Amino acid sequence: MEASSLALFWARVIALSILVYVLLDGFDLGVGILFGTTRDEMKRGQMMSAISPFWDGNETWLVVIGASLFAAFPPVYAVFLGAFYLPVLLMLIGLIFRGIAFEFRNHSRQLSWLWDHGFFYGSVLVAFVQGAAVGAMMRGIPTENGQYTGGAFTWLHPFPILTGIGLVLGYALLGAGWLVLKSDGAVRDWARERVRPLVIGVLVVLGLAFVITMTVDAGAIAQNNLDQRSWGIAFPAVGLLALVGVHFFARKDADSLPYGLTAVFFIAAFLTLGVMMWPYMIPYGLTVADAAAPEASLRFFSYAGFVALPIITIYTIGVYWVFRGKIGQPQS
Q: Give the span between the Cα atoms of 103 and 112, in whole angstroms.
A: 11
Contact 80, 142 (CB under 8 A): no
Does a structural domain hold residue 327?
A: no
Q: Name the band, by pLDDT with cuts 50, 70 and 90, for residue 152.
A: confident
Contact 80, 73 (CB under 8 A): no
Which pLDDT belongs to residue 111? 76
Does a structural domain hold residue 329?
A: no
Per the structure, the complete domain to which residue 263 belongs is given by 5-322
pLDDT digits (tens, 9 = 90+) for 69-128: 999 999 999 999 888 989 999 999 999 888 888 878 777 777 778 888 889 999 999 999
Q: Name the band, by pLDDT with cuts 50, 70 and 90, for residue 290.
A: confident
Does a structural domain hold residue 67?
A: yes
Does a structural domain hold residue 328?
A: no
Does a structural domain hold residue 117?
A: yes
Q: Is the pLDDT of residue 177 over 90?
A: yes
pLDDT digits (tens, 9 = 90+) for 3-18: 789 999 999 999 999 9
What average pLDDT does the segment 175-200 reach? 91
- φ/ψ of residue 310, rounded to 5: -60, -35
- Among 279, 305, 306, smallest CA distance to 290 is for 279
Does a structural domain hold residue 73?
A: yes
The total number of structural domains in the chain stands at 1
How many CB atoms sit inside 10 A of residue 53's CB?
Answer: 13
Contact 174, 232 (CB under 8 A): no
120 vs 276, which has greater pLDDT? 120
Q: Name the band, by pLDDT with cuts 50, 70 and 90, for residue 330.
A: very low
- φ/ψ of residue 152, rounded to 5: -65, -25
What average pLDDT does the segment 236-258 reach? 86
208 vs 30, which has greater pLDDT? 30
What average pLDDT does the segment 172-185 reach? 92
Which pLDDT belongs to residue 103? 79
Looking at every residue in the chain, the average pLDDT score rounds to 87
Does a structural domain hold residue 53?
A: yes
Listed range (153-157, 213-217, 241-245, 305-309) with the worst mean pLDDT: 213-217
38: left (phi over 0), alpha (psi -120 to 50) or beta: beta
pLDDT digits (tens, 9 = 90+) for 32-72: 999 989 888 888 888 888 998 888 888 899 999 999 999 99
From residue 70, how far is each of 6, 57, 96, 292, 312 by CA, in Å?
15, 21, 22, 10, 18
Which pLDDT belongs to residue 153? 86
Q: Is the pLDDT of residue 225 over 80?
A: no
Which pLDDT belongs to residue 178? 94
Amino acid at 171: Y
Which pLDDT belongs to residue 149? 87
